Every structure is written in structure tokens, then in C-alpha cells.
């Protein structure tokens, strides 16, 4: 990404990007990307939490050379910001995850890829070049599916696996239910088939095929079933892999699954857990030797009424005490909010929905615009706050504002 690029005069903020994207996406896609669980209160609070804090700028400091880089996966990232894994990006733009990967490559920004992408992890790796990337993983009850995916990610040079740990069950997403969401043709869940014509390639969210041309002769092999427990025996999900049937895994536990995942990933890939929201679980993550934590509530799409990620962050940071990196996602819409998250102890932030809005707005160029807006805002914030290096950003630069408008130092 060039240091100087002309402004897109139609889109100067992430808020404007969201509005442009809303006009370009169909209702099913717009609702799927933007909705939270139940009433959406946690989704809303993820963003509102940042307004509780104000920045305390320092002045008369030489800020003529600002370094926004930070350590990441054994090297340096030009920004303390990455693109979070989000599913089925071809819904936003036909180029989907490949366009996002190219934008990340050109910006030098790490990309997270969803297991339920509409582009294979190999194709995303090819589009990424040498740019770092991570694979978001749902650990399936039948581990062989996950083992194969991990081996492919290792062969394709992914730096880490981010295990999603906040989906033992799926949150209730009412618009998704009302819209009877299905993945339209010609798109497919690309990572779970070697044959683009197979039943698994055509599987949609609920395990039914989006292609009815095969009639009843295809019904058995193209229908998935969720796992269940009869009180004595747990029966795992069956049929082609789909999000609703296979992604939720109520059997996941620290003692068994983290050790298995480390055995599968090491030494080529790091193992992170995504979905930590308490100090107790942060300590367990350290105990089970994960390489890092992402404080996340799944974009407000799981437990409605859960803490906003920014509100959960200080507790997690205090528990970890620097033993492993702590990242955060959820609700970031401006570069000043990246600054606030870092000041509260995050080492790095991940951006989700704004990237999808950029993709819907203008494909690869729209993602580049999103990253550029956030980059420029963050660098400007660093300078105006009186900092020139990311490690200088501490809680000394923040105050908290209570509901009465009174401020307090942290």
C-alpha cells in the first residue's frame, strides 16, 4: 500500500463504507453479515464500549517519525491490525476471499481465513504470496475432518490456527432464520470438498443442498444431520459438512482437545484460542500452553448479553500478565479505537465487518480502502496523542467516562 493515495471522496469513513455496502448487498447477505444474536445488544455494545474512554494527549514531543509496526508470528507487522476471519465472502463480492487476500498482501496486513470460506485455503495462500495468514478452525467432533484441514493449512504455509471456542452451540440469529438463509449457486463451502461437483460442495448453512436438480436420488447423500445425545451415547454429526450441523461442538474441552490440536499443528503452526472473555479461561489457556488468545464474542453473534470485548479485555490482560499475546476483535470502526484497545492492554486487533463492507463496496480496492482508512486514522491518533511507537501506548493515555459524565484515571 502506497504511503500517499488519493482520497475516495465518496467514502471517507468506515461509517460511510457501511452505508455504501448496504446498498450493494442483497437483503439476505446484508442481514447475515450485520446481525447479532437475539436482540443484538452485545453486537451494539461491542462498538459502544469504546465511547466509555477518552484519550489523554501529550504534547511538545517529537513525533516526526512514527512507527506503527509490532511483532507478530515471529516477524514484524506494519500495523497492530489484521483482517479477522469471516465466512463466505463471495456473498459480498464474486472475488471473495481471494480479493481480500490480495488487498492484505498489498498492505502487508495479516489475513484470517474462515474454515467456512467460499475460496479454498490453497487459493487464498496463492493470492497472499508471502504475506502471513492464519486459519480459523472449528474443531469437529469427527477429528479426521479437522486433521485433514490442518495438514492442508500447514502445507500451504499458514502461520497459526485460531480455534473458535465460543460455539459449543450456535447463538440464535433471528434474521438468518426468517430469511431461511442459504448459500446461493454457484458458491460453495470450498474447504470441505475435493470435487466441486460433490454433495459437500453444494452444502448450505443448514445441511441441505442448494441445487435441487438432482431430485430425490441426491437427497440422502446431500443432507446433513446434527449430533445428538440420547442420555447414554453421543452420536456425532453425519453427512456432508455444513455450518449448522458441524461447526457447533458441545464436546470441546481444555484437557483433551487443546493437547490434540497442539500435536497436530506443531511445530509449523501456532495454536491460538479465539473466544476468550474471562480471566479464568485466560489462565487455563496459559496452563494448556496455547500460543495466544483472541478476546472475542463472535461479533456479538453468540451469547447475547455477554460482555463487550473491550470490557472483557482488561480482566484477560491482568490474568495473562504478559505470558502470551492477547488480541481482540469486535466493534472497531475507527483508528482511535485501535489505539484505545492497545492502551487497555491488547497487543493486536482484528477487523471483521468493515472489511466485508469494503469488499461489497468495491472488491479488492474496497478492502484496500478499509485498511487504508484505519491505518491513517491510527497513525494520526498516535501522533496527536504524543506517541511514536506502539509499545508507548498504555493506559496512561486513557481516562474512563462514567454514565454521569465524570472521568477517572485508569
Question: Does the pLDDT value for residue 206 go beyond 60?
Answer: no
Note the pTM of the prediction, 2 decimals: 0.93
C-alpha cell at 186: 454457484
User: Which of 105, 95, 86 is closest to 363 using CA atoms?
Assistant: 95
Mean pLDDT of the chain: 92
pLDDT for 67-102, tens place per residue? 999 999 999 999 999 999 999 999 999 999 999 999
User: Which of 45, 34, 84, 35 is closest to 311 using CA atoms?
Assistant: 45
pLDDT bin (cut points 50, 70, 90) of residue 222 is low
User: Which of 1, 352, 395 is closest to 164 using CA atoms?
Assistant: 352
pLDDT bin (cut points 50, 70, 90) of residue 196 is very low
Residue 305 buriedness (CB in 10 A; 0-12 / 13-18 / 19+): exposed
* Residues acting as catalytic residues: 298
Residue 207, pLDDT score: 52
Edge-to-edge strands of the sheet including 398-401? Answer: 53-55, 398-401, 407-409
Question: Does the pLDDT value for residue 215 go beyond 70?
Answer: no
Amino acid at each position: 500500500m502506497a504511503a500517499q493515495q488519493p482520497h475516495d471522496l465518496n467514502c471517507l469513513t468506515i461509517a460511510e463504507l457501511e452505508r455504501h455496502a448496504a446498498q450493494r448487498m442483497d437483503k439476505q447477505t446484508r442481514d447475515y453479515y450485520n446481525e447479532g444474536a437475539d436482540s443484538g445488544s452485545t453486537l451494539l455494545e461491542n462498538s459502544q464500549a469504546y465511547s466509555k474512554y477518552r484519550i489523554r494527549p501529550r504534547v511538545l514531543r517529537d513525533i516526526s517519525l512514527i512507527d506503527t509496526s509490532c511483532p507478530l508470528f515471529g516477524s514484524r507487522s506494519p500495523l497492530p491490525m489484521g483482517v479477522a476471519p469471516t465466512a463466505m465472502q463471495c456473498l459480498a463480492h464474486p472475488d471473495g476471499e481471494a480479493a481480500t487476500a490480495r488487498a492484505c498482501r498489498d498492505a502487508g496486513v495479516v489475513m484470517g481465513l474462515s474454515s467456512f470460506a467460499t475460496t479454498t485455503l490453497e487459493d487464498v495462500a496463492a493470492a497472499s504470496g508471502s504475506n502471513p495468514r492464519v486459519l480459523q478452525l472449528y474443531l469437529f467432533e469427527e477429528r479426521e475432518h479437522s486433521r485433514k484441514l490442518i495438514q492442508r493449512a500447514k502445507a500451504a504455509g499458514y502461520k497459526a490456527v485460531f480455534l473458535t471456542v465460543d460455539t459449543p452451540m450456535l447463538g440464535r440469529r433471528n434474521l438468518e432464520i426468517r430469511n431461511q438463509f442459504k448459500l446461493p449457486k454457484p458458491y460453495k463451502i470450498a474447504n470441505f470438498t475435493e470435487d466441486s461437483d460433490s454433495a459437500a460442495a453444494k452444502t448450505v448453512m443448514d445441511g441441505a443442498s442448494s441445487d435441487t436438480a438432482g431430485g430425490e436420488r441426491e437427497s440422502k447423500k446431500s443432507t446433513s444431520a446434527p449430533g445428538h445425545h440420547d442420555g447414554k451415547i453421543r452420536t456425532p454429526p453425519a453427512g456432508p459438512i455444513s455450518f449448522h450441523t458441524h461447526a457447533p461442538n458441545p464436546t470441546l474441552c481444555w484437557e483433551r482437545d487443546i493437547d490434540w490440536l497442539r500435536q497436530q499443528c506443531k511445530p509449523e503452526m501456532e495454536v491460538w484460542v479465539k473466544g476468550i472473555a474471562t480471566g479464568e479461561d485466560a489462565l487455563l489457556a496459559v496452563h494448556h500452553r496455547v500460543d495466544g488468545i483472541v478476546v472475542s464474542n463472535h461479533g456479538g453473534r453468540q451469547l447475547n448479553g455477554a460482555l463487550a470485548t473491550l470490557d472483557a479485555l482488561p480482566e484477560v490482560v491482568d490474568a495473562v500478565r504478559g505470558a502470551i499475546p492477547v488480541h481482540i476483535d469486535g466493534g472497531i470502526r475507527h483508528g482511535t479505537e485501535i489505539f484505545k484497545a492497545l492502551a487497555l492492554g491488547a497487543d493486536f486487533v482484528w477487523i471483521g465487518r468493515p472489511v466485508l463492507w469494503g469488499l461489497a463496496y468495491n472488491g479488492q480496492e474496497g478492502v484496500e480502502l478499509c485498511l487504508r482508512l484505519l491505518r491513517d486514522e491510527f497513525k494520526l491518533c498516535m501522533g496527536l496523542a504524543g506517541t511514536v511507537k506502539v509499545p508507548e501506548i498504555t493506559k496512561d493515555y486513557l481516562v474512563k467516562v462514567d454514565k454521569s459524565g465524570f472521568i477517572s484515571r485508569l
